[in-house]
Amino acid sequence: MSSTKKILYVDDEPINVLIFKKLMSKKYEVVTAADADEGLEVLSAQDDIDFVVSDMRMPGKNGLEFIQEAKENHPHLKYFILTGYSINQELQDALDNALIVQCWTKPANFELIDGVLSGL
């Protein structure tokens, strides 16, 4: 279990992407995308991704719509949301339906994220 886990992080805000990459790259291999479509492309192109973490509000599809679609082709992956909003009904439903494993809010607590991901 020494192989490094791979995370796809999807967020339309460039600084957020940079931060995620900077703070998670020590333990994980991080690939990023700026929106849902780009994220789906990355998933299709790379079959070694373990976790998908997505922002909620993005141009085009939002985070859950993206995950819904991604899960059809990649059901074995673990999906997460990292959002600036508090958890609303839509996110709660996604948790209840096990569409996503967890939902985190911004500002992100990267120690917590690491704790969850390393336990899986």
Partner 1 sequence: MNPLKPKNSSQPDSPTLEIKFKELEERYQRLFDNLGDEVHLWKVVRDSNGEIENWELVDANPSALKAWGQKRKEVIGKTAKEIFGEGAIHQFMPLVRGIIESGETSSWTEFFEPTQQYLSMASVPMGEYFISTGQDITEQKVREEQLKESEEKYRHLAENIPGIIFQYRLNTDGSDELLYVSQAVADLFDVTQEEALDDLSLLQSKVIREDLIQFFEIRDASARDLSPMLAELRLAFPNQIIKWLSIRGTPTQKEDGCVVWDCIGLDITARKQAEQEIELLNQDLERRVEERTREIQEVSKEREEALNHLKETQSQLIQSEKLASLGILTAGVAHEINNPLNYILGGHSAILQHIVENDNISKEELHEYLRWIKTGADRATQIVRSLNQFSRSGDRFDLECQLPEIIEDCLMILAHKLTKDTIITKSYFSEDITIIGNDSRLHQVLLNLIGNAIDAIEGSGEIKIKIEDRNDNISIIIEDNGYGISKENLNKVSDPFFTTKPPGIGTGLGLYISKAIIQEHKGALFFTSEEGKGSTFTVQFPKRQSK
Which of 31, 33, 64, 108 lies at the binding interface for partner 1 (CB under 8 A)? Answer: 108
Tell me the two tokens of residue 57: 């509000």
**CA distance readout (Å), 81 to 1, 70, 86:** 25, 13, 11
Rounded Cα gap, residues 70 and 26, in angstroms: 26
We find the least distance from the C-beta atom of residue 96 to partner 1, in angstroms, to be 21
Nearer to partner 1, 22 or 41 (CB): 22
Q: Which two tokens stand for residue 94?
A: 């996604």
Q: How far is the CB of 112 from partner 1 (least distance, A)?
A: 12
Window contacting partner 1 (CB under 8 A); options: 7-15, 39-47, 67-75, 91-99: 7-15
CA angle 63–10–19, rounded 5-degree value = 130
Nearer to partner 1, 34 or 77 (CB): 34
Q: Find the helix packing angle between 110-119 and 14-24, rounded to 10°.
A: 60
Residues in 76-95 that interact with partner 1 by CB under 8 A = 84-86
Taking residue 75's Cβ as centre, other Cβ atoms within 10 Å add up to 8
Residues 38-67 touching partner 1, rule: CB under 8 A, are 57-60, 62
Query: What residue ranges bind partner 1 (CB under 8 A)?
Result: 12-13, 15-16, 18-20, 22-23, 26, 57-60, 62, 84-86, 105-108, 110
